[in-house]
Structure 1
Amino acid sequence: MARTRLYLVRHGEHDPASGHAPGGGLSALGREQADRVGRRLRKLSFGSVHHSPLARAAETADIAGRHFPGTPRHSGDFVADRTPWPSAKTGYPQRWHGWLDGVPIDERDRDATALRAAVEHFGVLGDGDRDELLITHNFVIGWFVRHVLDAPDWRWLGLNQANGGITVVQWESGRPATLIAFNDTGHLDAEDA
């Protein structure tokens, strides 16, 4: 039997002084959250740390990665910040239609094409057990959770992760994909979660 386990971590808090610009890094709290993620997961043996190309995710990976010396880190488009955007809102609850209309065009992942590719890329079984750390964004994590729960496409909406929160999903031979943990913030102080 083989197992693939993905540890999906939302980046640390974005520095509000950057005006939430894509190139903005982490706040002091965000850097502390990133360090706590690394300390929480340091006993695990990851094949790789994959992170979004945006500065806040890359910085989170750099800080958390100090706790995984020798583990390769990769910036990649599969975990880039994106919003799954339906070309037809059929099946999406009416209450979300206006919000979806307001998603900037450059942030739209039309019919979740890129996110479906990310699940296909990471959610595969190899010859043995594999653990990977993905440092990414809220909607990306929501999409993975929606997928493993076999929920309707729209159900990524409202699955919100805290900055530094850890979600774990798993694929295992002969079993359906599984949600192991969702938005675990036990490693963060209550006021940081």
Structure 2
Amino acid sequence: MATRHLYVARHGAADAFGEIKDTGRRQASLLGERLAGLPIDHIRHSPLPRAAASAQELARHLSGVPVSESAELVDHVPYVPDAAEMPRSWAGFFDGYDEAEAAAGRRLAGALVARFGQVPAAGEPDTYEVLVTHAYPIAWLVRDALDAPPVRWLSLDSANTGLTVIEYRTGLAPTLVMFNDMSHLPAELRWTGIRADGRP
């Protein structure tokens, strides 16, 4: 049985212009320390600067592991639900999304799953990949792994450098090992990127 291990993390805390802050660099470094004992094959990141900087910071702890950009990991809205699917409170969030933008988001979401959400064929070697991306693509990968309705991506949020682990094993449904785990962060660095009123 072959296993694809995905270690998926949101980028470190960033400023209003999308540039990583010192706090975000520290978060990414601590995540790198956490992953340093694993046989990571590759680190892939979104094209956006906050994700690229987080990946480079993380990579300092994973000597010799290649780092590359993956367009599929870019921040995007993967699915725009119709009015009957979503709670009323979400309706305003999608104001201004036209059908062309919604279709582009669906295409990106499909490419994301096609690239990273596939079960390996029997006999393939096990792989260990780190993906540094954004809250929405993480939510879509988790929703897909759980085979949940498309609208359920809206109910999943990730803190900065929160770690999600998904395993894809030959002949089995995907396994969500953990979601948004922040145990590598001290208390003062946890929950950034999450609405203040939703933090414990």
Normalization by structure 2: what TM-score? 0.86
What residue number does 1:12 align with? 12
TM-superposed CA distance for 1:25, in Å, is 2.1
Aligned residues: 187
List gaps (5 residues or longer) in structure 2.
Answer: 191-200
Q: Distance in 2 between matches of 1:105 and 1:39?
A: 43
TM-superposed CA distance for 1:84, in Å, is 1.7
TM-superposed CA distance for 1:119, in Å, is 1.0
Q: What is the RMSD of the two structures over their aligned residues, measured on CA atoms?
A: 2.1
TM-superposed CA distance for 1:28, in Å, is 1.3
Q: Distance in 2 between matches of 1:11 and 1:103?
A: 25
Question: Structure 1 residues 116 and 81, CA, compared in 2 at 3 Å: closer, same or farther?
Answer: same
What residue number does 2:86 align with? 92
List gaps (5 residues or longer) in structure 1.
Answer: none
Q: Distance in 1 between matches of 2:182 and 2:34?
A: 10
Q: Are 1:10 and 1:138, in contact at CA under 8 Å, matched by a contact in 2? A: yes
Aligned with 1:160 (options 141, 157, 163): 157
Aligned with 1:77 (options 71, 78, 85): 71
Q: Are 1:85 and 1:100, in contact at CA under 8 Å, matched by a contact in 2? A: no
Question: Structure 1 residues 118 and 180, CA, compared in 2 at 3 Å: closer, same or farther?
Answer: same
TM-superposed CA distance for 1:102, in Å, is 4.6
Q: Distance in 1 between matches of 2:56 and 2:105?
A: 32
Aligned with 2:178 (options 172, 178, 181): 181
Please give the per-residue CA displacement for 1:102-135, whole angstroms capped at 9, x wherever unaligned.
Answer: 5599975645221121111112315021110000
Greater fraction strand: 1
Please give the per-residue CA displacement for 1:59-88, whole angstroms capped at 9, x wherever unaligned.
Answer: 001100011111111111110111124274
Aligned with 2:189 (options 165, 188, 192): 192
Please give the per-residue CA displacement for 1:159-180, whole angstroms capped at 9, x wherever unaligned.
Answer: 1111011001111011101111
Counterpart code for 2:137 = V
Counterpart code for 2:111 = A
Question: Structure 1 residues 27 and 174, CA, compared in 2 at 3 Å: closer, same or farther?
Answer: same
Whether 1:48 aligns to 2:42 is yes
Question: Structure 1 residues 48 and 109, CA, compared in 2 at 3 Å: closer, same or farther?
Answer: farther
TM-superposed CA distance for 1:14, in Å, is 0.2
After TM superposition, list the pairs within 5 Å mapping 1:132-147 onto structure 2: 132-147=129-144
Aligned with 1:118 (options 107, 112, 115): 112
Question: Structure 1 residues 107 and 61, CA, compared in 2 at 3 Å: closer, same or farther?
Answer: farther
What residue number does 1:128 align with? 125
Whether 1:26 aligns to 2:20 is yes
What residue number does 2:196 align with? none
Q: Distance in 2 between matches of 1:109 and 1:167?
A: 27
* SS of residue matched to 1:132: strand
